[in-house]
């Protein structure tokens, strides 16, 4: 088996541009690449050794990648993406790119105590990974990176966990990897947590002595030494803390796995004794991270339907739309995530975008989609597009100050048709799954483009998946669009119902290892909502009723019986937030008011704490699974793990406090070089920032109107007309006429007439004939 070699500048997955090779090993080839959809962010792209997996093996690969991508720990290299190289069976993996020395090179001048500390950090990571059922399989210095000196040891990064099974067999890999391989694996037994501990023993020996316990240039002789030889520990025994460290190594390198320490956590305990001080510090940092990797349960039928519809779209070449509906926390995102994993490993191109609450620019998900696919051409599979790059900003717009007459509905239609046609053009050339998230936040203009899109993809092998909360779309255009799509045989609705009690118990068991008693209580409390289930488990940890010890999770059943069943998910979230430190609460308040991913540098400007306190708050909030780190346009940002968390926090924040925070955010954004007028308008109007709010609201309204997003423009026009104290009569009349255009465009001409008549009466009272003439002319059009 061999990994497929990639040329510089080639494009992988319609997204990653290869720059140069970083290395080659048993797993395959590793490249430095750039994420073209995310600000050219550098990533490590690993092409695994070539093989044509059987269907059963492919299914295992999906499950493994699903689990690995959801593992969260501050010392694990994040897996960002994966898929298959076009035209081959080579799986590829995309990880965050981290520069640094491997552990062996970094530790050249370390004391034995520092080496013990480093290996203890590694074992804390392994304990977390092992508890999720994942075995690393390839522990060696090259897979442990450190940026900086020993003072950064708590931030070391472990990579390639769980991947060695997709590479060569142990006897076929290089001598360098063989030196760390446990004897039982060499004898054909499966890898286990105990075989990882053997590798840890080899690593510890190497870091202390600067040599390997067993060495030979011939792979056969090396295997024989590992199966039969004994490590010489005399040199290590002469070091400071040497006898205890040697004894730890002796137990780790035992030929019989049963005689090795029982867990990685036990190794930390042995190292603490050897070093003479506690090396468990930081071990509570990821207790709640166990809950991010629960099994996918209860949605198998829905996943099978999505897969069937995708296959039909590919086989027939006819697009189809599926509207995935369910209450907040029902599992829409998890279902789409699992579907994405299945799809990319079957060769589909998968594109994603989404709406956000208070999205300040119209056509938000389509702007995002077009920005991410700028490099696409009609046949973009392995090279950048050669056609002229299409940009949203280049599209023709109505000129500023031009009336949007009722007859110009056709112009709005042409504009939205251009958006749709360009979106479809980017989807051509390859079967594609397009996922649009949280469309219950979409405005009227965005829904109009979605309507066009559900029709236009019918002549292309595209499956469009749109998620939304049915209770939050109101009487707007989206329910009508769904109904028409179903009636015209362009799509269907897929409703996610609450999980049954059996599935809730299975979900609980996948997380904490048992479901007796707690599964029944959680089902009754959650009503089968998966997010509610996860938050309840975390809440039990916060209350001390659910604790993780050396033997696994332990539930205080007696105390559970006396615990009052929470009335709603908001009650649970409020209690979880109350358990945070003051610094973490302050951070959460700012993230909730900002209500979108926030760059860390902006948080340092906004959150009124020093840098060290903010970093602690970020670490605490991530470890408690309140927030997560994401990358947006090449910047590391932070956001809540679920929209409900921010909604609950905003409900509890006093209005006056929120206004002050909005003003601070607006001022911080204003100082940025490329600030978005619509973002500024949102925060300054929410902050009631006087003339500044009016100025940016007018600018945002003009931009929205110019893009035929009349509903969004009206939001800003109405704000200005409500806070018009410092405007002249002429300005008020002009703004009223602009707003009247928008009322007519969205089909409420009665409001336009009422607004203009009111302004006409006021103008007549102050005897302004020119304004009266303009208003009368506008009334005739309305």
Is residue 705 assigned to a domain? no
pLDDT class for 171, splitting at 50, 70, 90? very low
Q: What is the pLDDT of residue 152?
A: 86
Say which CATH number the domain at 431 has. Answer: 3.40.50.300
Are 427 and 352 in the same domain? Answer: yes
User: Using CA atoms, how far apart are residues 724 and 125, in angstroms rounded to an integer?
Assistant: 59
Beta bridge partners of 29: 24, 47
Is residue 306 assigned to a domain? yes
* Res. 39: pLDDT tops 90: no
* Res. 286: pLDDT tops 60: no
The answer to whether the Cα torsion of 372, 377, 382, 386 is positive or negative is: negative
Secondary structure of 261-310 in HEC code, one letter for each residue = CCCHHHHHHHHHHHHCCCCCCCHHHHHHHHHHHCCCCCCHHHHHHHHHHH
Contact, 163 vs 69, CB < 8 A?
Answer: no
Are 355 and 419 in the same domain? Answer: yes
Say which CATH number the domain at 138 has. Answer: 1.10.510.10
Q: Which of 96, 117, 143 is at the close of a domain? A: 96
Are 111 and 203 in the same domain? Answer: yes
Are 419 and 388 in the same domain? Answer: yes
pLDDT class for 411, splitting at 50, 70, 90? confident
- pLDDT, one tens digit per residue, over 435-488 is 999 999 999 999 999 999 999 999 999 999 999 998 776 657 899 999 999 999
Contact, 137 vs 164, CB < 8 A?
Answer: yes
User: Using CA atoms, how far apart are residues 562 and 130, in angstroms rounded to an integer?
Assistant: 33
* Res. 646: pLDDT tops 90: yes
Is residue 684 assigned to a domain? no
Are 266 and 181 in the same domain? Answer: yes
User: Using CA atoms, how far apart are residues 624 and 264, in angstroms rounded to an integer?
Assistant: 22
Could you tell me which residues come within 8 angstroms of residue 348 by beta carbon, excluding any fewer than 6 positions away? 310, 314, 431, 432, 433
Q: Print the domain residue range for 746.
A: 727-782
Q: Which of 537, 563, 578 is at the close of a domain? A: 578
Q: What is the pLDDT of residue 407?
A: 42
Secondary structure of 42-75 in HEC code, one letter for each residue = EEEEEEECCCCCCHHHHHHHHHHHHHHHHCCCCC
User: Using CA atoms, how far apart are residues 239 and 259, in angstroms rounded to an integer?
Assistant: 25
Q: Which of 4-18, 243-257, 438-452 has the lowest mean pLDDT?
A: 4-18
Overall number of domains in the chain:
5
User: Using CA atoms, how far apart are residues 669 and 598, in angstroms rounded to an integer?
Assistant: 11
Q: What is the pLDDT of residue 517?
A: 67
Beta bridge partners of 640: 627
Q: What is the DSSP letter of 126?
A: H
Are 126 and 208 in the same domain? Answer: yes
Is residue 590 assigned to a domain? no
* Res. 86: pLDDT tops 90: no
User: Using CA atoms, how far apart are residues 633 and 41, in angstroms rounded to an integer?
Assistant: 7
Are 275 and 307 in the same domain? Answer: no
Considering only CA atoms, which of 597, 592, 605 is closest in space to residue 630? 597
Higher-confidence position of 229 and 559: 229
pLDDT class for 406, splitting at 50, 70, 90? very low
Is residue 235 assigned to a domain? yes
Higher-confidence position of 269 and 61: 269
Are 404 and 529 in the same domain? Answer: no
Is residue 680 assigned to a domain? no
Residue 626 φ/ψ, nearest 5 degrees: -90, -45
User: Using CA atoms, how far apart are residues 618 and 599, in angstroms rounded to an integer?
Assistant: 12
End-to-end Cα, the chain, rounded Å: 72
Is residue 632 assigned to a domain? no
- pLDDT, one tens digit per residue, over 581-609 is 999 999 999 999 999 999 999 999 999 99
Q: What is the pLDDT of residue 2?
A: 60
Higher-confidence position of 353 and 753: 353
Is residue 317 assigned to a domain? yes
Q: What is the pLDDT of residue 748?
A: 82
* Res. 295: pLDDT tops 90: no
Beta bridge partners of 157: 145
Beta bridge partners of 32: 20, 44
pLDDT class for 280, splitting at 50, 70, 90? confident
Residue 111 φ/ψ, nearest 5 degrees: -80, 160
- Edge-to-edge strand order for the sheet containing 11-12? 11-12, 16-25, 28-35, 41-48, 91-96, 79-84
Query: Average pLDDT for residues 392-404, to the nearest whole number?
Result: 53
Q: Which of 546, 578, 610 is at the close of a domain? A: 578
Are 471 and 535 in the same domain? Answer: no
* Res. 404: pLDDT tops 60: no
Are 112 and 258 in the same domain? Answer: yes
Are 470 and 515 in the same domain? Answer: no
Higher-confidence position of 612 and 753: 612
Q: What is the DSSP string of 660-719?
A: HHHHHHHHHHHTSTT--HHHHHHHHHHTT-HHHHHHHHHHHHHHHHHTT-HHHHHHHHHH
- pLDDT, one tens digit per residue, over 697-747 is 999 999 998 888 888 999 999 999 999 877 888 888 889 888 988 888 887
Percent of the chain whose predicted confidence (pLDDT) is above 70: 86
Q: What is the pLDDT of residue 236?
A: 94
Could you tell me which residues come within 8 angstroms of residue 703 by beta carbon, excluding any fewer than 6 positions away? 361, 677, 678
Q: What is the pLDDT of residue 744?
A: 83
Query: Average pLDDT for residues 747-761, to the nearest whole number?
Result: 81
Residue 672 φ/ψ, nearest 5 degrees: -75, 150
Query: 52: left (phi > 0), else alpha (psi -120 to 50), else beta?
Result: beta
Cα–Cα distances in angstroms (integers) from residue 101 to residues 98, 113, 163, 201, 509, in the given order = 10, 20, 21, 20, 40
User: Which residues are designated catalytic?
Assistant: 138
* Res. 386: pLDDT tops 80: no
Are 152 and 275 in the same domain? Answer: yes
Q: What is the DSSP string of 352-381?
A: EEE--TT--STTHHHHHHHHHTTT--TT-S
User: Using CA atoms, how far apart are residues 5 and 29, in angstroms rounded to an integer?
Assistant: 7
Could you tell me which residues come within 8 angstroms of residue 569 by beta carbon, excluding any fewer than 6 positions away? 329, 526, 529, 531, 532, 535, 644
* Res. 99: pLDDT tops 70: yes
Q: What is the pLDDT of residue 474?
A: 62
User: Using CA atoms, how far apart are residues 506 and 743, in angstroms rounded to an integer?
Assistant: 52
User: Using CA atoms, how far apart are residues 103 and 223, in angstroms rounded to an integer?
Assistant: 24
**Helices 444-456 + 477-487 axis angle, to 10:** 10
């Amino acid at each position: 088996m061999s990994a497929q070699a990639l040329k510089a500048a080639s494009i992988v997955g319609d997204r990653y541009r290869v720059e140069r090779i970083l290395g080659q090993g048993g797993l395959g080839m590793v490249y430095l690449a750039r994420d073209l959809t995310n600000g050219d962010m550098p990533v490590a792209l690993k092409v695994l050794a070539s093989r044509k997996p059987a269907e059963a093996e492919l299914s295992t690969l999906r499950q493994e990648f699903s689990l690995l991508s959801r593992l969260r720990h501050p010392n694990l290299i994040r897996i960002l993406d994966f898929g298959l190289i076009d035209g081959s069976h080579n799986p590829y993996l995309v990880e965050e790119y981290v520069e640094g020395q491997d552990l062996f090179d970094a530790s050249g001048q370390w004391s034995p105590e520092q080496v013990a500390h480093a290996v203890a950090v590694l074992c804390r990571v392994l304990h977390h990974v092992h508890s999720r059922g994942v075995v690393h399989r390839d522990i060696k210095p090259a897979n442990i990176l450190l940026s900086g000196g020993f003072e950064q040891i708590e931030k070391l990064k472990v990579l390639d966990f769980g991947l060695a099974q997709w590479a060569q067999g142990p006897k076929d890999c290089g001598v360098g990897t063989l030196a760390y391989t446990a004897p039982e694996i060499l004898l054909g037994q499966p890898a286990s947590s105990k075989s990882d501990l053997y590798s840890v023993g080899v690593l510890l020996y190497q870091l202390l002595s600067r040599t390997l316990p067993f060495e030979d240039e011939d792979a056969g002789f090396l295997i024989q030494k590992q199966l039969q030889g004994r490590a010489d520990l005399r040199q290590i025994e002469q070091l400071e803390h040497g006898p205890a460290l040697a004894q730890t190594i002796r137990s780790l390198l035992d030929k019989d796995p049963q005689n090795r320490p029982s867990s990685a956590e036990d190794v930390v305990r042995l190292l603490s004794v050897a070093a003479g001080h506690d090396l468990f510090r930081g071990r509570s940092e990821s207790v709640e991270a166990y809950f991010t990797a629960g099994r996918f349960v209860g949605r198998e039928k829905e996943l099978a339907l999505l897969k069937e519809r995708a296959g039909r779209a590919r086989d027939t070449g006819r697009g189809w739309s599926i509207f995935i509906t369910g209450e907040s926390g029902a599992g829409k995102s998890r279902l789409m995530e699992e579907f994405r994993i299945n799809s990319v490993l079957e060769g589909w191109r998968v594109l994603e975008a989404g709406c956000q609450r208070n999205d300040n620019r119209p056509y938000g998900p389509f702007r995002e989609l077009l920005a991410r696919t700028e490099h696409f051409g009609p046949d973009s599979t392995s090279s950048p597009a050669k056609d002229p790059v299409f940009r949203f900003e280049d599209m023709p717009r109505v000129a500023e100050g031009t009336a949007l007459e009722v007859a110009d509905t056709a112009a709005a239609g042409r504009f939205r048709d251009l958006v749709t046609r360009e979106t479809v053009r980017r989807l051509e050339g390859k079967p594609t799954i397009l996922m649009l998230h949280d469309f219950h936040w979409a405005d009227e203009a965005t829904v109009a483009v979605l309507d066009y899109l559900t029709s236009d993809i019918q002549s292309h092998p595209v499956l469009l998946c749109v998620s939304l909360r049915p209770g939050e779309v109101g009487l707007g255009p989206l329910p009508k669009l769904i109904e028409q799509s179903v009636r015209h045989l362009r799509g269907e609705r897929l409703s996610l119902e609450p999980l049954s009690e059996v599935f809730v118990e299975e979900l609980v068991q996948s997380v904490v290892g048992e479901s007796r008693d707690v599964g029944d209580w959680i089902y009754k409390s959650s009503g089968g909502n998966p997010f509610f289930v996860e938050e309840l488990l975390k809440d039990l940890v916060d209350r001390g009723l659910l604790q993780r010890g050396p033997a696994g999770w332990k539930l205080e059943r007696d105390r559970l019986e006396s615990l009052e069943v929470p009335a709603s998910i908001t009650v649970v979230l409020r209690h979880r937030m109350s358990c945070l430190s003051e610094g973490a609460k302050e951070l959460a308040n700012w993230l909730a008011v900002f209500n979108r991913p926030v760059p860390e540098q902006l948080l340092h400007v906004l959150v009124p704490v020093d840098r060290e306190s903010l970093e602690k708050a970020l670490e605490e909030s991530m470890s408690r699974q309140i927030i997560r780190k994401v990358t947006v346009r090449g910047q590391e940002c932070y956001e809540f793990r679920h929209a409900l968390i921010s909604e609950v926090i905003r409900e509890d924040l006093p209005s006056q406090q929120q206004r002050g925070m909005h003003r601070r955010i607006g001022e911080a954004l204003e100082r940025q070089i490329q600030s978005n007028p619509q973002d500024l308008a949102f925060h300054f109007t929410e902050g009631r920032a006087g003339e500044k709010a009016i100025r940016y609201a007018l600018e945002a309204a003009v931009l929205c109107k110019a893009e035929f997003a009349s509903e969004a423009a009206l939001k800003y026009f109405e704000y200005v007309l409500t806070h018009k104290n410092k405007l002249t009569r002429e300005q008020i009349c002009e703004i009223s006429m602009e707003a009247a255009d928008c009322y007519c465009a969205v089909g409420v001409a009665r409001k336009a007439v009422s607004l203009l008549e009111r302004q006409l009466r006021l103008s007549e009272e102050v005897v302004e004939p020119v304004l009266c003439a303009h208003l009368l002319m506008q009334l005739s059009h309305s």
